Structure 1
Amino acid sequence: MKSITRGTLAAVITGVAAAMGAAATPAAAVDAVPVPVPLGGAEAALGTELPEVDGQLPLPTAGVPEPPRFVKGRLLPERTVPRLPVDGGLPGLELRAPLAHALDDGFDHVGVGVPASDVRSLTPGLALDAPLTAPRPGELPALKQPELAVLAPVLRTTPGADLTAGPGLR
């Protein structure tokens, strides 16, 4: 292949990769997707005030797995199947409902806000060791008890909620 053809091909591949990277960047920067619930048509059809509902769906993102650690005296690394960190969140919800007065035509409101909260987790992992000792100079590996351990998953979050009530619809 001529050098001009290789240069042209490299420029085209670089341009396509840059365009794909630019297109993927805004989507990757989003932590949660807003989910509005349109109730305007039902309000008009029923002739009454309905609750306002908005939500957020968080997008999970995978992290970098823990690297294997080699330990002296073992044939296999300490974490044979490493745990993978996954960050995401619990969905959020915003609900605001009208509360009619019993004695007149006015309205108050009551609202519940559950913000999207972060969730940090680690997937389960596996640690095992071969049923042989590590080789030593001048000796053959000896038999030993095999080792197997399941690394438990980890889940951390701090959810919260707000309850509000007040005069008027907003």
Structure 2
Amino acid sequence: MKSTTRGTLAAVLTCVAVAATGAATASPAAAVPIPVPLEGAENALGMELPQIGAEMPTPRPGVPQTPRYVEGRLLPERTLPRLPVNGGLPGAGVRAPLPRALGDEFDHVALSAPASDLRTLTPGLDVDAPLTAPSPGKAGLPEPKLPELGLLAPELQTVPGANLMMGPGL
């Protein structure tokens, strides 16, 4: 096989590996299940108690946005960059017995709110110096101007959801 063919094949395989890695990191937030044990209370009270569970997502910090140089400014935009933090909203699940009005049988009611992805960006700062860029018409000296100071607002993106169910049996 020629060296150019091997180089092309290596480049293609590298692109596929990078794409697969990017797809793997774009998966939903990893949530740690947290059970709530109520068996002791059920035995002590002699009755069926709700089953409760929770999910706590783990936050993952991302790569900060880089400063961007703009023509005509002495300092770059996004002087203090925003940091993305990806994680999730906590989830919960409750399943409780629901006695029927007539008879000894039970139904159940359940509420499920799974952990959902949460993407955030921390606040940032945008500052510009009180001088313009050096101009060739003034012997390379900058001109004074009003200083600029801006706060980059934080961002929050999520789509939470919940399910309410009723059915026969426990």
Indicate whether the TM-score tops 0.5: yes
Task: Please give the root-mean-square deviation of Cα atoms over the aligned residues, in Å.
Answer: 1.0
List 4+ stretches of structure 1 deviating above 2 A.
136-139
Q: Which residue of 1 aligns with 2:105?
A: 106
Matches within 5 A, 1:3-42: 31-42=30-41
Matches within 5 A, 1:118-133: 118-133=117-132
CA deviation after TM superposition for structure 1 residue 140, in Å: 1.1
Q: What SS does the aligned partner of 1:44 have?
A: helix
Asked if residue 167 in structure 1 is aligned to residue 168 in structure 2, the reply is yes
1:41 & 1:105 partners in 2: Cα distance? 23
2:102 & 2:115 partners in 1: Cα distance? 37
Q: Which residue of 1 aligns with 2:149?
A: 148
Q: Deviations over 1:62-83 (max 9, x none)?
A: 1000111111111101110111
What TM-score, normalized by structure 1, do the two folds share? 0.80
CA deviation after TM superposition for structure 1 residue 136, in Å: 3.1
Q: May I ask how many residue pairs the two structures share in their alignment? A: 140
What are the ranges of 5 or more consecutive residues in structure 1 without an aligned counterpart?
A: 1-29
CA deviation after TM superposition for structure 1 residue 139, in Å: 2.4
Q: Deviations over 1:32-61 (max 9, x none)?
A: 111000000100111100000010001111
The one-letter code matched in structure 2 to 1:123 is: T
What TM-score, normalized by structure 2, do the two folds share? 0.80
Identity %: 64
Q: Deviations over 1:93-112 (max 9, x none)?
A: 01000001121111000000
CA deviation after TM superposition for structure 1 residue 135, in Å: 1.7
Q: Which residue of 2 aligns with 1:68?
A: 67
What are the ranges of 5 or more consecutive residues in structure 2 without an aligned counterpart?
A: 1-28
